[in-house]
Amino acid sequence: MAEEANSSDAVVSRPYRGVSATDRREARRQRLIEAGLELFGTRGIAAVGIVDVCAEAGLTKRYFYENFASIDTLVDAVFEHVTGNIVAAVAPAIAAGGGRDPRPALTVYARALLSDPRVVRFLGIESQSGPLKKHRDEFPTRAVELWFAFAAADDALPPPDEMRLNAYGFIGAAQQIGVAWLDGQLPLTMDQVIDQLVDMFYRISGIAPS
């Protein structure tokens, strides 16, 4: 049953069962984001309405509009949630590799992406059209900037402009490989995919294996 509005919430912001109004609202927002990821990543954004999201989250429409103006703004929030989690997981691995050894970062990235088909569909397929299209280049850009921040300090690397161009090419190719792998077009294990990505990284980036 959908969670109904508590009358005390509508009048004053005070703790309810030991949980503050702010924490309750944030918990509801996260439920809606998780519901959005589930539905967008399985049905597709175009097939999902506000009623569907509320049913999946177990919340009323009042709580949807408490946090989001429309499905499009929920899409934005799901994008930030998904990419933020991936970046947070990959950043330490990129730092550990120093921009030269891609395996730690690629292993984390591949497992974060390929272990959840919803994420692959959301980032790799749904971003080709609809409200997510405007974000299509944001995740590759964020990934490239993150990698470049750790790699640019090494004088032995290729010139910055060349390295940045190669990095964009690699990230785009890696996303498409992820989509093809989950679609069953590549008869490889995840570890084999990672091995291929590492090899491709060295060939595209212009960086010699250490």
Determine, yes or no, domain membership for 91: yes
Determine, yes or no, domain membership for 210: no
Using one digit for the tens of pLDDT, what is the confidence trace for 161-172? 887 788 778 878
The pTM score is 0.78
In which domain, by residue range, is 110 found?
A: 24-205
Using one digit for the tens of pLDDT, what is the confidence trace for 63-107? 999 999 999 999 999 999 998 998 888 888 877 776 667 788 888
Distance CA 149, CA 94 (A): 9
The domain that contains 65 carries what CATH number? 1.10.357.10
